[in-house]
A = this chain, B = another copy of it.
Amino acid sequence: MIGSRLINGTESARISADDRGFLYGDGLFETMAATDGKVRNLDLHFARLEEGCRRLRMPMPSTGVLAEECSRVLEGIGSATVKLMVTRGAGPRGYRPPADPTITRIVTSMAPRPRGDTQPPLVVRLCQTRLGQNPLLAGLKHLNRLEQVMACAEWDDPEIGEGLMLSLDGRLVCATAANVFLVLDGRLVTPDIRDCGVSGVMRQVVLAAARDLGIPTSVEDVRPEALDGAQEVFVTNAVIGIRPVGELMGVRQWPVGEITRALIPRANGAGA
């Protein structure tokens, strides 16, 4: 059955109203794709979570326990989306983290999302909402997501599937729930995320796959004007893999190009 949830290993739908994840967004999450009852790139997700715990100074839960809980929410399911949340748990009042926190683990299985290459190319827009910059939190998939929420509230045209977001100082950084790649004169370019944006697992996979295929890659600052000159554009996340971008709404269109097509089998896997 799709939709089961384990909270600290027990089936439950509710958390303590004293959980610091709720009070302060004091936690991290991973959104993952499962096919054939197995989470794709689980090691990479765990590695990112571990890095997030290290940077937030939270103890990392046992990966054995987390893997077992992922398996349990996938029992009897072929494909699913699995969301894993880890918070600093309940604690004494106030921002100060408890010295010895009791971490909360929440593992949820949900309906799968179609792989990006099985869908029509995405229509995107440029969001007004900017990403505040803070190197301390940059790259982390933490629970402070108000900027993304507000960016998504900007439009309701169902034709528009994603919004591209700029940093406060005007660089193109990512989409609301995906990383972004541009092909510029044969190079595969993705924005630097040193002070905002998320270090996507699929972003890593795509960069590694491109290097493997001999495609020149670059992580660099990208001005939004670079979209004008891009030959191909796509977005990535762990759930959809690569999804080609077909149009910046009303401004520019792109074909699904050669480099995108070469990378899709590496990123999106065999199953659709």
Contacts of A15 in B (CB 8 A): 14-15, 17, 22
B residues near A147, Cβ cutoff 8 Å: 134, 136-137
In the assembly, what is the distance between CA of A7 and CA of B17, in Å? 9
A150 to chain B: closest residue by CB: B136
Considering the chains assembled together, what is the distance between the CA atoms of A1 and B14 in angstroms? 25
Contact yes or no, B137 A23, CB < 8 A: no
Task: From B7, B99, B137, B149, give the contact of A146 (CB < 8 A).
Answer: B137
Q: Which of A24, A57, A129, A132 has the most chain B CB atoms inside 10 A of its CB?
A: A132
In the assembled complex, 23 residue pairs joining A and B whose CB atoms fall closer than 8 Å, in A order, are: A14-B16, A15-B22, A17-B106, A19-B22, A24-B146, A24-B149, A25-B25, A25-B143, A26-B145, A26-B146, A56-B146, A56-B150, A95-B151, A96-B149, A97-B149, A97-B152, A132-B132, A132-B134, A133-B133, A133-B168, A134-B147, A136-B147, A144-B146
How many residues from A make CB contacts under 8 Å with B?
54
The 4 closest A-B pairs by CB, nearest first: A132-B134, A25-B25, A144-B144, A24-B145
Task: List, in ascending order, chain B residues with CB within 8 A of A148's CB.
Answer: 24, 95
Q: Is A270 an interface residue (CB 8 A)?
A: no
* Chain A positions 1-54 with a Cβ under 8 Å from a chain B Cβ: 5, 7, 12-26
Complex Cα spacing A111 to B177, Å: 40
The verdict on A153 contacting chain B, using a C-beta distance below 8 Å, is yes
CB of B176 within 8 A of CB of A95, answer yes
Contacts of A129 in B (CB 8 A): 136
With both chains docked as a complex, state the minimum distance between the C-beta of A58 and any C-beta of chain B, in angstroms: 10
Chain B residues closer than 8 Å to A94, beta-carbon distance? 152, 177
Q: Are B96 and A145 in contact (CB under 8 A)?
A: no
Verify if A110 is at the interface (C-beta below 8 Å from B). yes
Minimum CB distance partner of A96 in chain B: B152
Given contacts A17-B106, A99-B156, A143-B146, 6 further A-B pairs with CB under 8 A are: A15-B22, A25-B144, A57-B153, A95-B176, A132-B137, A134-B168
Contacts of A95 in B (CB 8 A): 145, 148-149, 151-152, 176-177
Is A115 an interface residue when CB atoms closer than 8 A count as contact?
no
